[in-house]
Every structure is written in structure tokens, then in C-alpha cells.
Amino acid sequence: MENKIKALLLENSLSIFGVEIEEKLIQFQKTRKDVEGDMTLVVFPFVKILKSSPIKVGEDIGRFLTDEMDEVEGYNVVSGFLNLNLTNDFWKNELFNMTEDENFGCAPSPSGEMYMVEYSSPNTNKPLHLGHMRNIFLGYSVSEILKANGHEVVKTQIINDRGIHICKSMVAWEQFAAKDENGERETPNSTGLKGDHFVGKYYIEFDKQVTLQGFELVTEWKANDYSDSAIPEEAKEKLPGLFAAFEAADDDKKKTGIYRKIAAFGVPFTQLTKDASEMLLKWESNDPEARKLWGMMNNWVYVGFDKTYNRMEVDFDKIYYESETFLIGKDHVTEGLDKGVFFKKDDGSVWVDLTEEGLDEKLVLRADGTAVYMTQDIGTAIDRFKDYPKLNGVIYTVGNEQDYHFQVLFLILKKLGYDWAKNCYHLSYGMVDLPDGKMKSREGKVVDADDLMEEVVSMAKESTKERGHIDGMTEAERDNLYELIGMGGLKYYLLKVDPQKRMKFNPDESIELNGNTGPFIQYAYARINSLMTKVELVNPEKDMDIDQAEKELIKQLSEFPLVVKEAGQNYSPALIANYTFDLVKNYNSFYQAFSVMKEENIALKNARILISQNTGKVIQTAMRLLGINVPNRM
């Protein structure tokens, strides 16, 4: 309807406005709930052209549209807004059109544009956790929403399979792994642990042991009155006070926090830190033993990751590995150094100066020649546009703690001469907190993704059993239902919040059947599905009628394509989640107030059946775009 009105106003602009107008002047917005009308045209852009008051302009346009369009039966003007009333026949046609459109809500044809969406991108030194889950579900959902908007999408991740953090797990396994009677170190197979959990255990062990070494070293400094010239001045200044606080602390949590602060001053000088740095140098110089160990431990992790992704029901079209792309990045840093994009400091490290852009200097290559995250991100970006030259843009799904990193990355790519850098977008999302604060992977204070999925499915199982309604289901059908409810609740909870907002996760709330939850929406779909098996349409093409209640639901359903479009433009699954929740709330109220099965007026019954059918269809499509399945029975 908006397009039809636009075309009519543009075609008759001379007679209405006395001048030719541009399409951008014709703007619509959602009609306020406190005014009468089905759609609203913003009048203010025309006021200057007609040199008249907003009320007068709105009246003139309203009369013209009422006279020229059969679909417009009336109007009212509030300040600078023209609210149009559309006929029941128009809304009945809308209902028929969406019924016939199997892909209602999605773009009718390809856009010709290609986008790459990066998400997950874990380190191979630890299993996936709650923070990763928001990232993964967000990136996957954005990919599906972009597809629904007609775009070609490449889903990707960059595996952070190299770097000092990987070397820490490697060193810890070599030095601290338990051995059997044959002297063989334990493995995922021998322990029964998933590979990512197994390797993550040794990352935590490294932190535990290096912290212990750091504390012991600093204690030696204290015993020698901080006389060693190698001790940093900051350490000499702060450690006496920290030791005093440590000895006075009577709370275990507080004592542990001070212990770690003290140890941190000594950690850079410990043998374990040196061992990890040596392992990194060996790896980057292609030492055979270091590479063999690295490959074995990474493969353990990949097997574990795949199991987790399978349960999440997410996938990837292309995987990049930091161990490969960092070399591309190093080559381009060398080229950029020759071109004057980068500069070298006295210690041999390479930097970029971004002070003219209001930032600071940024390291791109360490003094020992090893790469940093920025190095590999430069290489990865260049490699991606080489692999997919038709890319219209890349969306990086990464937490807002990396806002500065991506600002720098895009500036560096621009300085290197890559025009496509302007099409790179950081989908910055807020962190997920535990009830007692921020997660810390190295200390093991995380909500493990596998454990969390198991927990919510178990909770869904218990709550579903309590409600009943599963008689006649086989055991396999019941298990599948528990999985749908638990995983649906988890995904929806993490996606319903605006991506930019920080959030706190509560697993109990996620599987509740009431409120803005996944199970609430899944239950509505199951009820509609059951209803559709019990009712039958009777010649609806000729015999259908609607009242105001039906009209309001049809209006809400008709907004779905616009919501999908807006969600794609803003990379925000939350828009779809909250639209669907509002739709279900309104449908439930309608269903409680008006009978479908017992309605004697066939014309009205037909309309209610089609409204129910399309509500179910929209719920199913919306939830699919969120990566959530809906059950036929619940």
C-alpha cells in the first residue's frame, strides 16, 4: 500500500503540490495507538513546498487519496501526520495474499547482494561458554535474516588456533598431564572428556601453576627487600601494601583476589611464562615437535566443538584459521612498512600511527617478529575478499569489548588501500553476565555451553512432565520435545534483548511458559497447529468477513515483512523476537475472546481460520529466523 500511495503522489504531484516532488519526501510511520487510522503519512516534508499549515496540507492530501483510491475510506489529521483508514476489503485481500504466499515475510526475489557473517570464532584452548552462545546464536540468526531479505550469505568463523594462549595449554599438558603405567599422558579418549573440555582443563591448570610461580617469585622479592634491579618500579611501590592487605584479609574470596594481584607482578618473570613464549617461537619457526603437539591438541578441540555446534544446530559455509591468515597479515604488514603505512620502533616492533584519526599508535608486529591479533585480522579480511570478490560487506559478530580493535582494523585496511574496508561492519553486542559478575575463562569461572544446554533441556523435561499433555508420545518424541523447548528457550532468551545491551542470563526464566519466552511462543504455535486439524474452510474466496478484532490482527500480521526487513538492516534478531511475542499475546487475547471452532457465521469463521493459519505460519518463519524449532504438539 505504501508503494501504491507513493506512486500516486509522485504521478500527481503537479496537481497536488504544484511542483514535482522527490520520492524521499514521502515518508510513512507506524500509526500511534491513541489515534484512529491504519497507516500514517508524515506531512511535514510537504509543508514548505505548499507554503501552508500541516493541518491544511494533511487535509488536501487526505481528500485526494480518499477520492482516488478505493482502499482509502477516510482519514484524520493530527498535527503534521495524516492517518488513513483502509477498507475492510483491503484487509481481506491482505489476508488472502499472505495466505497464498508460502514465504510470506521473506523477500520475493534475490537482492543480488552477498554478505559474509562471522560468528563464534573461538580459541582452541577452551570449550565454548555462555558468552560464545550469545555470539553464535546472534550471528546465525543475522545470517538467516539476511537470507530472508534476499541476500546471499556466507557464514564463517575464524578459528583462533595459534598464539600464546594455545601455547599455554600445550605447555601445561606437557608438564602437568597425568601419565599411565606406560608413561603415556592422558588424552580425551583415556579420560572420557570432550576434547575442548580436556584442553580447557590444561589452560586453567597453566593459569593456576603460573600464578603460584608468580606468587612464590614475588615472595622472594619481598624477602630480599625488593633489591633486585630487574623488579619493576610499580611492583616495588605497590607490593608492600598488597602483602599487608593479603595478611590482614579474613575473607577467602578477598584473600584470593589479593593473591592474584600480587602474583600478577611476578607472572611475566616465571619459568612457565618463558616456556610458553618459547613454545610460541618454536611454533612460528615451524619446529616439528611443536607443530605436532599443536595439531594433536587442536584436533581434540575441533571434535568437541563439532558436537556442541550440532546440538546448537548452527553451521558454517567457510572456516578460516588464524594459523594461516596471520602469515598473510605479516606479508601485508611488510608491504605496508615499505609504503610508509607502518613504522618500526628501535626494538624492531612494527606499529601504525592513528593519532591523526583521533586514536593512538597500534602494535601490528612484536619485536621478536611474532604476530598479534591485529596481524591475523588484517590477513583474514584480505583473504576473505580475495575468496569472495562479490562481497558487499562483512559483518563481524564480536563483543563490544573489541570496539576499539575493529575501529583500528578498518582504519588500517583503508590505509592499505582497500576500498571495501568501508563495507566492513562490527556487530558489537553486550556481554552476558553471571548473577555474580563477569565470566573469566582462565580461572574457570564460566558457564560452559554444553553444561548449560544440558541443564535447560533437563529443566524443560521436568516442567513439561509437571504440565502433562505428553500422553501418547513415544519416548523419542518426548525427548525431542524437551530438546525443542529447552534449546528454544535458551536461544530466544539470548536473542530477545537488543544486541547492543549487556544482559544477565537466568536459565530458570528461559524455559517458563508465560511471559516473553521461547516456550510461550512455541506453545502458541502448537495450539494453533492443533486447531488447524479440527477446522475447515468453506469457500473463503467468496464468503469471508471481518470485524475490528480480526482487522487488528491482520494489520499486525501484514507488518511482518517490514519487521524482517528492518531486522536485516539493523542486524537485530531482537526486533523479530519481540514482534513475535506481541503477535502471540494479541492472538491469545483474540482466541480467548472470540471462538473459531464454534463461530456460526461462516464468513467470520473463515476469516478467523485464515488469521489463525497465518499466525502459525508467521510464528514458524520468525522462530526459524531465530534458529528455533517449533513443536506440532506441546
| Contact indicator for 215, 261 with CB cutoff of 8 Å | no
Both 625 and 485 in one domain: the answer is yes
Closest CA to 71 of 105, 35, 38, 104: 38
Residue 350 falls within a domain, yes or no?
yes
pLDDT tens-digit series, residues 124-138: 998 999 989 999 999
Name the 3-class secondary structure at 159: strand
CATH number for 615: 1.10.730.10
Residue 108 falls within a domain, yes or no?
no
Distance between CA 335 and CA 337 in Å, rounded?
A: 5
Determine which helix (DSSP H) or strand (DSSP E) holds 520, and give its type and residue range.
helix 518-532
Q: Among residues of the chain, what percentage have pLDDT more than 90?
A: 87
Q: What is the reported pLDDT for 43?
A: 94
How far, in Å, are 417, 462, 478 from residue 633 at the CA level? 56, 17, 10
Domain boundaries, position 56: 2-86
Both 509 and 586 in one domain: the answer is yes
CATH number for 45: 3.30.1360.70
Domain boundary residue, one of 37, 66, 86: 86
Residue 110 falls within a domain, yes or no?
no
State phi, psi for 116 to the nearest 5 degrees. Answer: -110, 135
The angle, 0 to 180 degrees and rounded to 10, between the axes of the packed helices 449-467 and 475-495 is: 120
| Contact indicator for 364, 342 with CB cutoff of 8 Å | yes
CATH number for 224: 3.40.50.620
Distance between CA 245 and CA 106 in Å, rounded?
A: 62
pLDDT tens-digit series, residues 241-262: 999 999 999 999 999 999 999 9
Both 397 and 499 in one domain: the answer is no
pLDDT band for position 441 (cuts 50, 70, 90) = very low
Cell 493530527, residue? 78
Q: What is the reported pLDDT for 443?
A: 46
Which cell numbers hold the place of 379?
Answer: 590477513
pLDDT tens-digit series, residues 14-31: 988 888 899 999 999 989
Residue 105 falls within a domain, yes or no?
no
- Name the average pLDDT for the chain: 94
Distance between CA 540 and CA 606 in Å, rounded?
A: 6
Residue 92 falls within a domain, yes or no?
no
pLDDT band for position 333 (cuts 50, 70, 90) = very high
Q: Among residues of the chain, what percentage have pLDDT more than 70?
A: 98
Both 401 and 469 in one domain: the answer is no
Both 484 and 516 in one domain: the answer is yes
Total number of domains constituting the chain: 3
Would you mind telling me the total number of residues written for the chain in this entry? Answer: 634
Distance between CA 144 and CA 626 in Å, rounded?
A: 8
| Contact indicator for 619, 579 with CB cutoff of 8 Å | no
| Contact indicator for 572, 495 with CB cutoff of 8 Å | no
Cell 487526505, residue? 62
Burial of 512 (0-12, 13-18, 19+ CB in 10 A): middle
Give the number of C-alpha atoms closer than 13 A to the C-alpha of residue 412, restricted to the C-beta side.
30
pLDDT band for position 98 (cuts 50, 70, 90) = very high
How far, in Å, are 10, 217, 227, 346 from residue 232 at the CA level? 73, 13, 11, 21
State phi, psi for 478 to the nearest 5 degrees. Answer: -65, -45
pLDDT band for position 5 (cuts 50, 70, 90) = very high
State phi, psi for 83 to the nearest 5 degrees. Answer: -100, 120
Residue environment code for 84-93, b if the CB has 16+ CB neighbours within 10 A, otherwise e: bbbbbebbbe
Domain boundary residue, one of 86, 112, 128: 86
Both 43 and 187 in one domain: the answer is no
pLDDT band for position 436 (cuts 50, 70, 90) = low
Both 546 and 585 in one domain: the answer is yes
Both 413 and 510 in one domain: the answer is no
Q: Is the pLDDT assigned to residue 434 strictly greater than 70?
A: no
Distance between CA 208 and CA 545 in Å, rounded?
A: 71
Name 381's Cβ contacts closer than 8 Å, sequence gap at least 6: 394, 409, 413, 418, 421, 424
Q: Is the pLDDT assigned to residue 506 strictly greater than 90?
A: no
Closest CA to 605 of 563, 561, 545: 545
Both 627 and 517 in one domain: the answer is yes
* CA 583 to mean position of chain CA atoms: 23
Domain boundary residue, one of 86, 113, 147: 86
Residue 303 falls within a domain, yes or no?
yes
* Total-model pTM: 0.91
How far, in Å, are 127, 191, 278, 306, 443 from residue 300 at the CA level? 11, 12, 23, 10, 21
Residue 120 falls within a domain, yes or no?
no
Both 493 and 591 in one domain: the answer is yes
Q: What is the 3-state secondary structure (H, E, C) of 412-445?
A: HHHHCCCHHHHHEEEEEECCEEECCECCEHHHCE
Q: Strand runs (DSSP E) across 315-382, as ranges?
A: 318-321, 343-344, 350-353, 361-365
Both 489 and 421 in one domain: the answer is no
Both 379 and 455 in one domain: the answer is no
Average pLDDT over residues 290-319: 97
Residue 625 falls within a domain, yes or no?
yes
pLDDT tens-digit series, residues 154-184: 999 999 998 889 999 999 999 999 999 999 9
